Amino acid sequence: MSSSDIFGVMDRRTLLALGGFAAAAAIIGPAGATDLYGPKGSGAKSGGTLNMGLLVEPPGLDPFHQAADARIRLTVLIYQGLFYESPDGTAMPLLAEGFDLSSDRLVYTIRLRKGVKFHTGQPMTAKDVAYSYNYIRDAKNGSPGAGDFAMITAIEAVDDATVKITISAPNAALPMTLGNKYGGVVPAGYFDAADAKTKLNQASVGTGPFKLSEFKPNSNATLVRNPDYWEPGVPYLDRINFVFVPNAASLLVGLRNKRIDIATLSRPQDVKQVEGVAGLVIERKPSFNQKAIDLGAELKPLDDERVRRAIALAVDKDEIMRASIGGLGNTIGTMVAGMQESWGAPLDKLPNQKVDIAAAKKLLAEAGHPDGFELTLTSIIGYDWMDAAAVTLREQLAKIGIKLAIQRVELGVWVKNFQSKQMGFTFNDWATVPDPNLLFYRHFHKAPEGADFRNWKNDAASALLDEGRVESDPAKRREIYIRYQQAMAESVPTIMLFSADHVVVRADKVKNYDQHPTGWYYGLARAWIA
Amino acid sequence: MPFWRGCSRRQGLKDAESMGAYIVKRLAALVVTALLTSVVVFLLVRSVPGDVVGQMLGQTSDPVAAKALREFFGLDQPVWQQYLGWLGRVITGDFGTSWTRGQPVLGMVGSALAVTVQLAFATLLLATLIGVPLGILAAIYEGRMLDRLIQCFNLLGLAAPVFWIGLMLLFGVSTGFDWSPPLMYVPPSEALGENLSIMALPVLSLALLQAAAYSQFVRQNIVSALGQDYVRTAIAKGLPVRSIFFTHLLRNIAIPLVTFMGLILIQILGGAVIIESLFALPGLGRLLLSSIETRDYPVLQAGLLVVVVIAMLVNLVVDLSYRIIDPRVQLS
């Protein structure tokens, strides 16, 4: 564990020891400049161009309307929200300087950082902040983040340096929601222009450490250092070329021959090929992602909880993880690996986690399927881990009589099924920001408050999610989410299998890159070239 | 003026007129075909489940946001209305803006096409330079050791998948010379040397395969022509071998050869997606593939239309070249 991680954990523990979120807010105060985006490091050199190879190309660079993770990884360097998602689970002020919370916990008065300029050169004011967040929370503007901001009733500029945000019910996750996943602060009125949405792919209007220089589809996206950036002395790099290399073999050859300075890999066979190569350093970091099996209750007999529990009891997570990512990750219970310490229920307190074939068969017999049944598993083309995992799962479920057929679908088809709540029995691959409300609420709360994609319709679990969202005391909040996780493990709307590590391969000349557990490239704002 | 010269000029004028009429007729057919193709493409791309909105909003989509985006892209309108709107804009030269990349479609397709055209013509040139002489040599030495060696090369080239050849070349030069091509494409107008070092391996990968096909094709045609009466007559007349080959044989296989070249060109221009992906070339094949993945209909429609038009133009040029190669050919 690096020194920055230790400090991060200490911050969180200090906060956990403090009762009440209002008190916590006062403690956060101005951003700890040493931790924001990762440690600044000593002896850093400014200048130089870094070439980062990306296997997955961002479909666009519009942070307001494009939800793809491949987009977020890059745009967090260009656009900034009010808070930063610290890996330890705290929301650190970013464009905010600090905030006060009213006694009824409904009004956040946020003081803004001074001296912030947009990439256009104009200074940022509270009007810009209010405009940007009002734009994103209005679902009619078509932002994927709109649902996350539904609890906000008003955002207004008090003066040039203060914004007031009013919410409908206390929500401990609000600061984390005002992070960098969707949107960012842009100049007021930006979207008034008819071509504004598409222009975000050609010129950036954020406040981040890097500006967009060019975006060539199927080739590269190039960022250049923002000379007006508000943090003194950073970033160190003059230029970052994100090179889109859709083929792992070419990427590996590029790393070996120094065409590429840094890349993240996910397939164990790819990692093996660069192990021991002179001049390359491999680092593994825990992640907030999860590889899961979802069990849509709209598909019979998955509507029967006993059947879902039987499936959970037949699944050997460790075997699946080793088959699909060669052990480059951690099996999980009901919480992603990077948040287990902060928010995860102890694994020994969760039901249906250990393989028990006899118990599984008994459950199936009780549910009227003593000889098992036929079931179709959906996996997504292009997600390599799913192919090996599907075959392993078929063997495991065969032990309780379930005959598994595997269908591979294209991502667009899968997303359509998911959104229309017709996912059936499927693999899933998704990531979160470090807050349990943002992880669970929309996915698992019953409709209409949540999307309940798996048709779980669980009243007790939904009540716990409501309770967890309102609770401001960190210790009590953790207790509520542990109870929620127990309910989820008992009823099995999903089987969270494992979190794959982020495997970073970098040339040894690339210094001080710290991979954020979200998989986003925040660390490039602190990296430098020796 | 001699009678026959006047006749010839009149004949020439008549020929030029008929050639002009032929081209006009073919171009008119091209427009009609392109129009029909656009309808088919428009319906096909929309028949694939999912749309750009689902892709943009991801797993946590909001129904109101989804509706708003569908309205923004015009996806809420009936398909025929969407088509007519698109067609109306295309006729005025406006192919629109990419829904995901936010850039003008024409520019995107044009840039990608430039890469693919360079790839296709460089491949064609190299494949011809390698394949045709090999085919001739194999035919001359039919049944002997050299023929067998060339046949081995042909079989390997015809059987090996292009990604395998590409990978072997990539690993070969990387291991042998500690070198690999740059991964960020640069057009020849910006830096010719770097462009050539980027294009060398992909061109070689495609050209080796096409050269094998060429060589096999040329060999078969020459071997079969060697048994023809006109060759026997030429040999009986005592014509030198060079003259028999270049004046008679090659001329006779020129038409099928040009047809073959046209097919290769269409094949590569239509999207050498595997080789473009392997060497990170931003060509047309890769653009079409990524547009399918993101359901970027404006780019997909324009790109597919361009592929169809190019295929028809190449066919037209091939047909016209028949007449140039052999004036007896009647264009109709």
pLDDT tens figures, B283-297: 999 999 999 888 899
Looking at the domain assignment, is residue B167 inside a domain? yes
- Identify whether the C-beta of residue A441 lies closer than 8 Å to the C-beta of residue A469: yes
Report how far residue A473's alpha carbon sits from residue A24's, in angstroms, rounded to the nearest whole number. Answer: 9
Phi, psi dihedral angles at B324 (to 5 degrees)? -70, -40
> What is the predicted pLDDT for the residue at A147?
82
Q: How far is CA B240 from CA B234, B236, B243, in A?
A: 9, 10, 5
- Identify whether the C-beta of residue B283 lies closer than 8 Å to the C-beta of residue B271: yes
Task: For residue range B306-316, list pLDDT tens digits in order.
Answer: 988 988 898 88
Binning pLDDT at 50, 70 and 90, where does residue B259 land?
A: confident
Instruction: Assess whether pLDDT exceeds 90 at residue B48.
Output: no
Report how far residue A371's alpha carbon sits from residue A199's, in angstroms, rounded to the nearest whole number. Answer: 58
Task: For residue range B294-309, list pLDDT tens digits in order.
Answer: 889 999 999 999 988 9
Kindly report the average pLDDT of chain A as a whole number: 89
Looking at the domain assignment, is residue B29 inside a domain? no
Q: Is B214 exposed, middle or buried (0-12, 13-18, 19+ CB in 10 A)?
A: buried
> What is the predicted pLDDT for the residue at B56?
85
- Identify whether the C-beta of residue A470 lies closer than 8 Å to the C-beta of residue A502: no
> CB-based contacts of A107: which residues, under 8 Å, 6+ apart?
A101, A164, A165, A166, A167
Instruction: Assess whether pLDDT exceeds 80 at residue A34.
Output: no
Residue of chain B minimizing CA distance to A429: B59
Report how far residue A367's alpha carbon sits from residue A361's, in angstroms, rounded to the nearest whole number. Answer: 10
Residue of chain A minimizing CA distance to B277: A246
Binning pLDDT at 50, 70 and 90, where does residue A413 land?
A: confident
> CB-based contacts of A378: which residues, under 8 Å, 6+ apart?
A407, A408, A409, A414, A417, A423, A424, A425, A426, A427
Residue of chain B minimizing CA distance to A245: B280
Instruction: Assess whether pLDDT exceeds 60 at residue A381.
Output: yes
Encoded tokens for B32? 């009609």
Please state the rounded mean pLDDT for residues B179-196: 92
> What percentage of chain B reaches a pLDDT higher than 90?
36
Is there a contact between A244 and B60 if contact means CB atoms under 8 Å apart?
Answer: no
Residue of chain A minimizing CA distance to B73: A142
> What is the predicted pLDDT for the residue at A300?
93
> What is the predicted pLDDT for the residue at B12?
63
Is there a contact between A142 and B65 if contact means CB atoms under 8 Å apart?
Answer: yes
Report how far residue A93's alpha carbon sits from residue B279's, in angstroms, rounded to the nearest whole number. Answer: 42
Binning pLDDT at 50, 70 and 90, where does residue A178 land?
A: very high
- Residue A59: CA atoms inside 13 Å, Cβ hemisphere, count? 25
Q: Is B104 exposed, middle or buried (0-12, 13-18, 19+ CB in 10 A)?
A: middle
Give the per-residue SS3 of chain B.
CCHHHHHHHHHHHHHHHHHHHHHHHHHHHHHHHHHHHHHHHHHHHHHCCCCHHHHHHHHHCCHHHHHHHHHHHCCCCCHHHHHHHHHHHHHCCCCCECCCCCCEHHHHHHHHHHHHHHHHHHHHHHHHHHHHHHHHHHHHCCCCHHHHHHHHHHHHHHHCCHHHHHHHHHHHHHHHHCCCCCCCCCCCCCCHHHHHHHHHHHHHHHHHHHHHHHHHHHHHHHHHHHCCHHHHHHHHHCCCHHHHHHHHHHHHHHHHHHHHHHHHHHHHHCCCHHHHHHCCCCCHHHHHHHHHHHCCHHHHHHHHHHHHHHHHHHHHHHHHHHHHHCCCCCCC
> What is the predicted pLDDT for the residue at B249?
80
Binning pLDDT at 50, 70 and 90, where does residue A42 land?
A: confident
DSSP A82: S
A94: closest CA among A183, A171, A33? A33
Question: Which B-chain residues 142-181 have CB contacts (< 8 A) with chain A?
Answer: 167, 170-171, 174, 178-180
Looking at the domain assignment, is residue B61 inside a domain? no
Question: Which B-chain residues 69-88 have CB contacts (< 8 A) with chain A?
Answer: 69, 72
Q: How far is CA B51 from CA A511, B39, B241, in A?
A: 41, 18, 63
Kindly report the average pLDDT of chain B as a whole number: 86
Instruction: Assess whether pLDDT exceeds 50 at residue A29.
Output: no
Looking at the domain assignment, is residue B87 inside a domain? no
Instruction: Assess whether pLDDT exceeds 80 at residue B332.
Output: no
- Identify whether the C-beta of residue B232 lies closer than 8 Å to the C-beta of residue B84: no
Instruction: Assess whether pLDDT exceeds 90 at residue B203.
Output: yes
A29: closest CA among A81, A83, A105, A88? A83
Q: How far is CA A250 from CA A221, B193, B276, in A?
A: 18, 21, 11
Binning pLDDT at 50, 70 and 90, where does residue A335 land?
A: very high
A280 - beta bridge partners? A507
Highest mean pLDDT range out of A76-80, A217-221, A283-287, B233-237?
A: A76-80
> What is the predicted pLDDT for the residue at B63?
82
**ipTM score assigned to the predicted complex:** 0.85
Looking at the domain assignment, is residue B83 inside a domain? no
Encoded tokens for A154? 């008003």
Domain range for B125 is 105-325
Report how far residue A370's alpha carbon sits from residue A382's, in angstroms, rounded to the nearest whole number. Answer: 36
Encoded tokens for A408? 């591979």
Looking at the domain assignment, is residue B118 inside a domain? yes
Collapsed DSSP state (helix, strand, coil) of residue A515:
coil
CATH code (residue B137) = 1.10.3720.10
> What is the predicted pLDDT for the residue at A12?
37
Collapsed DSSP state (helix, strand, coil) of residue A341:
helix
* B263: closest CA of chain A, how far (Å): 26
Binning pLDDT at 50, 70 and 90, where does residue A445 land?
A: very high
- Residue A237: CA atoms inside 13 Å, Cβ hemisphere, count? 28
Is there a contact between B183 and A245 if contact means CB atoms under 8 Å apart?
Answer: yes
Among B108, B111, B184, whose Cβ lies nearest the Cβ of A220? B184
Task: For residue range B7-22, list pLDDT tens digits in order.
Answer: 456 666 667 777 788 8
Q: Considering its fold, how many domains does chain B have in total?
A: 1
> What is the predicted pLDDT for the residue at A195?
84
Rounded to two decimals, the pTM is 0.87
* A203: closest CA of chain B, how far (Å): 11
Mutate to test the interface with A, among B53, B67, B94, B100 (most CBs of A within 10 A): B100
Instruction: Assess whether pLDDT exceeds 70 at residue A88.
Output: yes
Looking at the domain assignment, is residue B209 inside a domain? yes
Using the Cβ of B294 and the Cβ atoms of chain A, whether some distance falls under 8 Å is answered with yes
Mutate to test the interface with A, among B56, B109, B116, B179 (most CBs of A within 10 A): B56
Is there a contact between B293 and A62 if contact means CB atoms under 8 Å apart?
Answer: no
Is there a contact between B59 and A195 if contact means CB atoms under 8 Å apart?
Answer: no
Using the Cβ of B295 and the Cβ atoms of chain A, whether some distance falls under 8 Å is answered with yes
Phi, psi dihedral angles at A517 (to 5 degrees)? -60, -20
**Cα A327 to the center of its chain, rounded Å:** 21
Looking at the domain assignment, is residue B50 inside a domain? no
Instruction: Assess whether pLDDT exceeds 80 at residue A356.
Output: yes
Among A66, A201, A218, whose Cβ lies nearest the Cβ of B290? A218
Is there a contact between B101 and A197 if contact means CB atoms under 8 Å apart?
Answer: no
Residue of chain B minimizing CA distance to A198: B102
* A427: closest CA of chain B, how far (Å): 13
> What percentage of chain A reaches a pLDDT higher than 90?
74
